[in-house]
Chain A
Amino acid sequence: MTAGATSNGDSRALIRLENLSKRFPGQKQNAIDNLSLDIPEGEIVILVGPSGSGKTTTLRMINRLIEPTSGRIFLEGEDVTSVNGDKLRRRMGYVIQQIGLFPHMTIETNIATVPRMLGWDTKRIRTRVRELLDLVGMDPEVYAKRYPKELSGGQRQRVGVARALAADPPVLLMDEPFSAIDPITRARLQNEFLQLQTKIRKTIVFVTHDIDEAIKMGDRIAILDESSHVAQYDTPSTILAAPANAFVEDFIGAGASLKRLNLTHVADVHLLDWPTMPVSAERDSVRAALLRSDKGSVLLVDDARRPQRWVNAMDLEHGSIPLAESGLEAPVMQRTATLYDALNEMLNSLQGATAVVDENGAFCGVIDIETVAAAIRKMREEARLVYRGEGGSPREPALAGAERGGDGDVRGGSDFGGAAPGGGDDFGAAAAGGGDA
């Protein structure tokens, strides 16, 4: 995934915003000023910016909850600037921070909202609702008949996403969907959502004020300045490696290299093989497995290959403790988690490695701190190449901040030179921070 930028004339654009402006009554300035943006099919595009940058207004103009003052909106090549707004909105899923489930309706009825309006028959709706609840990881038998107040915040937002996907719209608009949820649940929902997106491949426009979330979730990020001026529109790695201007650099903030750990997923790196034994195995066979391997410990797994305990030679000496309770508990990482999450987990658990599991919770390998360090080295190398390749600035004219581009380039260069050791510092600082947490 290289290049990108505002690719005018890109035929893959599923949504195209053309010279969109909005002036609210009684305001002197445009809240949104001449915004043009192409949203490619099947990608997550993040609109991120400080408050007042008009990112929510922009999102709400895409489904015309707010009507643009001027400019045009295209969906799947069709000019939808003046079609019936309600009909248009049934073609776009909409998820908001406060979720807005209908409190007087069951989860099932909530999810069925759009299919009902589209006149689907009851049986089809029923099947679809069950399918969606499964998709977002909620048991239909348990939850279909419940009411929103009976669910936790995280569960509600899962239902919110299911409801938005109900009629299988090509587009999903999400306005800070995970911002009001506690950090632990938020990280889990983000990972689940990324996992979901690999299956559903929707075109997603996602608004957030949190650059870290943007980097983690986005295929592309549009960093918006005041009045929705696009300061930079590119892939997360390019934005981190080569911020277009001082505003972007400021907005990314410190710790760019640590943030880049969010770009690599555990599934993308080479996982280590590790000896495993069923937790029900005989002590002697575990000991034999340990002797056979070059590792200092064995991972005990249950029948579904879910990691349970780490045991080493010392633990096996204590004959009185049952195997299921010896050694250390084995924390796990989803394959979809980022290296940032993995590093954080290792620092928290004070273990140099953590077991990685697939969607079903089954063991698929081990990631250790060496692997993370190697990934950081590799990213740094790559970034250096990107920077050197910038010499002729082939990408520069494409950046929306091109008017400031020349200056920004030089600054970007010197800053980036300093970023490598800076990155090291960030790493150290975060390690300490992670340990505290």
Chain B
Amino acid sequence: MSDFREYLSYRRDHLLEQTLEHAQLVLYAIATATVVSVLIAVLVYRRERVAAVALAAVGALFTVPSLALFALMIPIFGLGFRPAFIALTVYALLPILRNTIVGLRSVDSAVIESAQGMGMNRLRRLVKIELPLAWPVIITGMRVSTVMTVGIAAIAAYINGPGLGGDMLEGLARIGAPVALHMVLASILLVVALALLFDLVYLALGKLTTPKGIT
């Protein structure tokens, strides 16, 4: 146990860097997935059939095993940050898209009617009324996606992606060697810690950004 503590302090800078890389990868993927999901949701939420098709398509991508998806990225995007980022974005889509559609649809129809009756055009209604009211549901989707993506991002190491997955794979490959187990344990712990941290940040962010009138 004291060995492990020694390992952590010895490799502190390296581990910190890996964690930050990991977090950065996740954040980029979530940010992109959010923008894409909200755009898709805005286009489809009022049309039942189209929305079902969009959700089915994104859902199908979601069910591809992560290892397979990462492998599929290689011929198109090669190795490294780019394919990892794209694969994670694809995974993050489903929860955000689904929640955005649900959130937009759950806005009280009387509120929309009165907005329309006052002469708010489609864009203004969306920006001023519908998205702010759907926001708590959307951010919940982002939270789910983020926690999930933190885990999947570790696997991105298979395609040379950044983050804590590198140590994890290396440790697993060299199991039996002196610090191999420490490498694995440290990266697992940090992934879990990162997931928990993100979760807390979202909780706070949700509280802060939810309009006062709808809490």
For B132, list chain A residues within 8 Å (CB).
Answer: 104
Cα–Cα distance between A104 and B131 once the two chains are bound (Å):
11
Number of interface residues of A (CB under 8 A): 30
Among A88, A100, A163, which residue has its beta carbon within 8 angstroms of that of B108? Answer: A100
Interface residues of A in 145-196 (CB under 8 A from B): 147-149, 160, 163-164, 173
For A114, list chain B residues within 8 Å (CB).
Answer: 118-119
Interface residues of A in 61-113 (CB under 8 A from B): 63, 65, 85-90, 94, 96-106, 113
Among B113, B121, B133, which residue has its beta carbon within 8 angstroms of that of A86? Answer: B121
For B169, list chain A residues within 8 Å (CB).
Answer: none
Among B116, B117, B213, which residue has its beta carbon within 8 angstroms of that of A103? Answer: B213
For B110, list chain A residues within 8 Å (CB).
Answer: 96-100
For A104, list chain B residues within 8 Å (CB).
Answer: 132-133, 211-214
Cβ-based interface call for B129 (8 A): yes
For B119, list chain A residues within 8 Å (CB).
Answer: 85-90, 114, 117
Cα–Cα distance between A105 and B214 once the two chains are bound (Å):
9
For B124, list chain A residues within 8 Å (CB).
Answer: 117
Number of interface residues of B (CB under 8 A): 21
CB <8 Å contact, B129 and A89: no
Interface residues of B in 90-135 (CB under 8 A from A): 108, 110-121, 124, 129, 132-133
Minimum distance in angstroms from A153 CB to a CB of chain B = 13
CB <8 Å contact, B120 and A100: no
CB <8 Å contact, B213 and A147: yes
Please, what's the 1-or-0 string for A100-136, where 1 marks a CB less than 8 Å from any CB in chain B? 1111111000000110010000000000000000000
Interface centre among A104, A160, A163 (most CB of B within 10 A): A104
CB <8 Å contact, A100 and B111: yes
Q: Which residue of B lies closest to A105 (CB)?
A: B213
Q: Which residue of B lies closest to A106 (CB)?
A: B213
For A100, list chain B residues within 8 Å (CB).
Answer: 108, 110-115, 117
Cα–Cα distance between A149 and B129 once the two chains are bound (Å):
16
For B121, list chain A residues within 8 Å (CB).
Answer: 86
Cα–Cα distance between A102 and B108 once the two chains are bound (Å):
9
Interface residues of A in 268-306 (CB under 8 A from B): none
Minimum distance in angstroms from A94 CB to a CB of chain B = 3
Cα–Cα distance between A89 and B120 once the two chains are bound (Å):
9
Cα–Cα distance between A105 and B113 once the two chains are bound (Å):
16
Interface residues of B in 177-194 (CB under 8 A from A): none
For A147, list chain B residues within 8 Å (CB).
Answer: 212-213
CB <8 Å contact, A99 and B114: yes
For B213, list chain A residues within 8 Å (CB).
Answer: 102-106, 147-149
Among A65, A87, A97, A106, which residue has its beta carbon within 8 angstroms of that of B117? Answer: A65
Minimum distance in angstroms from B181 CB to a CB of chain A = 51
Interface centre among A94, A96, A97, A163 (most CB of B within 10 A): A94
- Given contacts A102-B111, A105-B213, whether A63 and B117 have CB atoms under 8 Å apart is yes
For B129, list chain A residues within 8 Å (CB).
Answer: 102
Q: Which residue of A lies closest to B211 (CB)?
A: A104
Cα–Cα distance between A102 and B118 once the two chains are bound (Å):
12
For A113, list chain B residues within 8 Å (CB).
Answer: 115, 118, 120
Cα–Cα distance between A106 and B214 once the two chains are bound (Å):
11
Binding site for A on B (CB under 8 A): 108, 110-121, 124, 129, 132-133, 211-214
Of all A-B residue pairs in the complex, the 5 with the closest CB atoms, nearest first, are: A100-B114, A94-B117, A147-B213, A104-B211, A98-B110
Q: List 20 A-B contacts (CB under 8 A).
A: A86-B119, A88-B119, A89-B116, A89-B119, A90-B118, A90-B119, A94-B114, A94-B117, A94-B118, A96-B113, A99-B110, A100-B115, A101-B111, A102-B115, A103-B133, A106-B213, A113-B120, A117-B124, A148-B213, A164-B118
Q: Can you name 18 extra interface pairs (CB under 8 A) apart from A113-B115, A114-B118?
A: A86-B121, A88-B119, A89-B116, A89-B117, A96-B110, A99-B114, A100-B112, A101-B114, A102-B114, A102-B115, A103-B111, A114-B119, A117-B119, A117-B124, A147-B213, A148-B213, A163-B118, A164-B118
